[in-house]
Amino acid sequence: MLHTVCFANIHVDPCTKLRTLVDVPRTLNAIPVTIINGKYDGPTVLVTAGVHGSEYPGIAASMELGKELEPEDIHGCLVIMHPVNVSAFWARMAELGPEDGLNLNRVFPGNATLSRTYKLAYFLLHEFILKVDYYLDLHSGDLQEDLHPYAYFPGNASEEVIEKSREMAKQINVEYLVRSTATTGAYNCAALNGVPSILVERGGTGFCCREDIEEYKDDVMHVLQHVGVTPDYDHGHLHTFTPQELTNIEYLEADKPACWFHQKHCGEMIEKGELLGYTTDFFGEKQEEFRAKFSGVMLYMTPALSITPGRVLCAYAELPEGYVPQAPHDHVHTHALPEKVK
Ligand SMILES: [Zn+2]
């Protein structure tokens, strides 16, 4: 049955599209949100982009989808945030928010009385995430991260939520899926609260390339089609992708500030024992070598020279036996515009 929806005290009637700024209580932040309450009955889906303010392709894709989709296209309700972390977007900061230096995707379920990033997480969870049937969070490699596109689904939730999330992730045209064991990310917290959710990673290193934007728009539309919000997308043709599921992932970090010289690019195969990179001091004296603990594929890496403790140097994963990876995608060093630039 068609019904009026309510998010953060904003009511939207059926067959109505609202584009507005939503204030985050007790912060100076307002989030640009598009709420499309459809012409037809169906589930409610939340799409967020810019939880990390400098992960651009998902933000641009969300802005464009919010502008282009109309109630006539929607069965149920679609809520899009573009971007979530507005102050981080303007500060052009990697991972963190400028007010308190915290990573929004590490503080869920948040807190209404602590600093601004905690308040933002609390607000997102209670006013949006807990009110939807499905949740899709669009990320990228951050300013200093290059990555091979992949998607996460939550591994900490009920079996039913894990399975629904995995099926959503299979609608994404990527080579790999990663089962996450985290609990403090937005999508992890959503899943723990019974909302099937995924996180997608596309593009990075501060670029906002048209090919990544278009692929992200396809990703969102495929998931929306899968859950029944846009059944007529692509003339009702359902796509099936066969991403490989990865469980053994190694995230390398430095334990002190250093200069990082990477040796492998994202998407590349690596052999057990192979040198992935090394750190030096400012005089070029070698400090530490990082070698692969197992053979696999490089999922993302930091091409930046500057490394501080707690920041990831690279992340690589073990591959299913016998799997031969696709060629590495065009990374940061080659990003020619595609032919079908719109
Ligand atoms: Zn991110």
Tell me the C-alpha distance between 264 and 103, whole Å: 27
Domain membership flag for residue 136: yes
pLDDT at 134 over 70: yes
303-319: per-residue pLDDT in tens? 999 999 988 999 999 99
Range of the domain at 287: 248-317
Is residue 36 domain-shared with residue 9, that is, in the same domain? Answer: yes
pLDDT at 123 over 80: yes
Residue 1: the pLDDT is 77
What are the strands, taking DSSP E only, across 237-336?
A: 244-246, 249-253, 258-262, 269-270, 275-280, 286-291, 296-301, 306-307, 312-317
From ligand 1's centre to the CA of 34, what distance in Å?
Answer: 21
Instruction: Say whether 20 sits in a helix, a strand or coil.
Output: strand
From ligand 1's centre to the CA of 51, what distance in Å?
Answer: 6
pLDDT at 333 over 70: no
From ligand 1's centre to the CA of 14, what distance in Å?
Answer: 33
Domain membership flag for residue 77: yes
- CA distances to 68, 117, 152, 160, 207 from 58, rounded to whole Å, are 15, 20, 15, 27, 11
Domain membership flag for residue 335: no
How large a percentage of the chain has pLDDT more than 90? 85
What pairs with residue 138 in β-bridges?
A: 49, 200
Residue 118: the pLDDT is 97
251-272: per-residue pLDDT in tens? 999 889 999 999 999 999 999 9
From ligand 1's centre to the CA of 279, what distance in Å?
Answer: 24
60-103: per-residue pLDDT in tens? 999 999 999 999 999 999 999 999 999 999 999 888 999 999 99
From ligand 1's centre to the CA of 24, what distance in Å?
Answer: 20
Tell how strand 30-37 and strand 16-23 pair up.
antiparallel
Is residue 53 domain-shared with residue 194, that is, in the same domain? Answer: yes
Tell me the C-alpha distance between 278 and 72, whole Å: 54
Domain membership flag for residue 325: no
Confidence of residue 327 (pLDDT cuts 50, 70, 90): low
Is residue 193 domain-shared with residue 238, that is, in the same domain? Answer: yes
Is residue 135 domain-shared with residue 258, that is, in the same domain? Answer: no
From ligand 1's centre to the CA of 200, what distance in Å?
Answer: 9
Tell me the C-alpha distance between 124 and 119, whole Å: 9
268-302: per-residue pLDDT in tens? 999 999 999 999 999 999 999 999 999 999 999 99
Confidence of residue 46 (pLDDT cuts 50, 70, 90): very high
15-27: per-residue pLDDT in tens? 999 999 999 999 9
Is residue 159 domain-shared with residue 283, that is, in the same domain? Answer: no
From ligand 1's centre to the CA of 336, what distance in Å?
Answer: 24
Is residue 166 domain-shared with residue 102, that is, in the same domain? Answer: yes
Tell me the C-alpha distance between 185 and 153, whole Å: 11
From ligand 1's centre to the CA of 185, what distance in Å?
Answer: 10
Is residue 111 domain-shared with residue 158, that is, in the same domain? Answer: yes
Average pLDDT, the chain: 92
Is residue 168 domain-shared with residue 269, that is, in the same domain? Answer: no
Is residue 161 domain-shared with residue 275, that is, in the same domain? Answer: no
The answer to whether residues 262 and 313 touch, using CB atoms and an 8 Å cutoff, is yes
Domain membership flag for residue 323: no
**Domain-ending residue, one of 244, 263, 298:** 244
Is residue 237 domain-shared with residue 277, that is, in the same domain? Answer: no
Tell me the C-alpha distance between 76 and 73, whole Å: 10
What are the strands, taking DSSP E only, across 155-257?
A: 176-180, 197-201, 244-246, 249-253
From ligand 1's centre to the CA of 140, what distance in Å?
Answer: 6
From ligand 1's centre to the CA of 96, what distance in Å?
Answer: 10
Residue 329: the pLDDT is 54
Q: For the whole model, what pTM was predicted?
A: 0.93
pLDDT at 339 over 70: no
From ligand 1's centre to the CA of 286, what distance in Å?
Answer: 30
Domain membership flag for residue 329: no
Lowest mean pLDDT among 98-112, 229-243, 246-260: 229-243
From ligand 1's centre to the CA of 95, what distance in Å?
Answer: 7
From ligand 1's centre to the CA of 202, what distance in Å?
Answer: 10
**Number of compact structural domains in the chain:** 2
From ligand 1's centre to the CA of 105, what distance in Å?
Answer: 8
Residue 237: the pLDDT is 84
Residue 340: the pLDDT is 45
Lowest mean pLDDT among 129-138, 214-223, 323-332: 323-332
From ligand 1's centre to the CA of 60, what distance in Å?
Answer: 14
Domain membership flag for residue 186: yes
Is residue 209 domain-shared with residue 82, that is, in the same domain? Answer: yes
CATH number at residue 225: 3.40.630.10
Residue 321: the pLDDT is 84
CATH number at residue 297: 2.40.50.100
Is residue 218 domain-shared with residue 256, that is, in the same domain? Answer: no
From ligand 1's centre to the CA of 102, what distance in Å?
Answer: 13
Lowest mean pLDDT among 10-14, 119-123, 209-213, 335-339: 335-339
pLDDT at 336 over 70: no
Tell how strand 75-81 and strand 146-147 pair up.
unpaired
**Domain-ending residue, one of 244, 265, 283:** 244
Residues 6+ apart with CB under 8 A from 25: 112, 119, 123
**Domain-ending residue, one of 184, 210, 244:** 244
Domain membership flag for residue 338: no
What is the arithmetic mean of pLDDT over 50-67?
Answer: 97
